Amino acid sequence: MEGCRKAAAQGIDRYCIVTAGRAISPADFEKALTAYQKMHEEFPDMILCASHGFVSEENLEKLKAAGVSMYHENIETSEGNFPNVCSTHSFQDKIEEIKRIQKAGLELCTGGIIGMGENWQDRISMAFSIAELGIKSIPINALIPVKGTPFGELEPIKKEDILRTVAIFRYINPTEDIRIAAGRSYFEDGGKELFTSGVNAALTGDLLTTGGSSTAQDTKILQDAGYQLKKAEE
């Protein structure tokens, strides 16, 4: 509640709760439902987004009834590269989950991660897969290699390749919201160039395993780029 209240005060219009793991436990799911209900009551204009892994149709409907309107479910990478990234479930499992979410009447925030050893064909394939699913909100994450993790020894992706990837996603998904998420630390100014290369939205605040960008910095970048922002509360 405190995090949602802070976001609303800064003029942020979407608030997302993310849990780790393949699926949220039943006990934690009930806690999450209570939290969403309270947030929706106190901040009815806030768009609530949930990210809890694989969820049943019944629980998706419960989330919607609690005030959640969007669910986050990345496809991560291309279908061909997916086995190199994930071994606990398949790319098709992801697609079936996405269709379940759509059937429940929730919007989707679906993107992936670049810089995990994939090639350009994989990136283009991922962009087409997302377009074919009719996704309206597309987050792009650039991997930040962390020592001790499976991709910890990879060379960090070049910022020029991030910009090219964004431009490709924009070309293939011309009218959607393309959101830059992790990896903005590769840019000295928080990624101002990204907003002239195809990005038109951002995930602000702290991310899953790394710090994000500050809302104040993002506000300045967007204002300088000519965007009209929702006014923060006085």
Output the pLDDT for position 234.
52
The residues, any chain, with a CB within 8 Å of residue 7's CB and separated by 6 or more, are 15, 46, 205
H/E stretch holding 63: helix 57-65
- 3-state SS track over 111-130: CEEECCCCCHHHHHHHHHHH
Q: If you search the block for the tokens 């439902």, which residue do you land on?
A: 33
Q: Is residue 194 helix, strand or coil?
A: helix
- Res 190: pLDDT: 74
How far apart are the two ends of the chain, measured CA to CA in Å?
Answer: 19
**pTM of this prediction?**
0.87
Return the higher-pLDDT residue of 75 and 214: 75
Please say whether the beta carbons of 51 and 19 come within 8 A: yes
Residue 156 near residue 144 (C-beta atoms within 8 A): yes
Q: pLDDT per residue over 179-210, tens digit each? A: 998 888 898 877 888 988 999 888 776 555 55
What are the tens digits of pLDDT across the range 11-37?
A: 888 899 999 888 999 999 999 999 999
Strands (E), 44-117: 47-51, 68-72, 107-109, 112-114
Q: How confident is the model at residue 233 (pLDDT cuts 50, 70, 90)?
A: low
Output the pLDDT for position 11: 83
pLDDT reported for residue 203? 79
Report pLDDT digits (tens) over 91-121. Answer: 999 999 999 999 999 999 999 999 999 999 9
Question: Using one digit for the tens of pLDDT, what is the confidence trace for 119-156?
Answer: 999 999 999 999 999 999 999 999 999 999 999 999 99
Q: Which domains does the chain have, with CATH numbers?
A: 80-85+113-226 (3.20.20.70)
Instruction: Report which secondary-structure segment, H or E, holds 57.
Output: helix 57-65
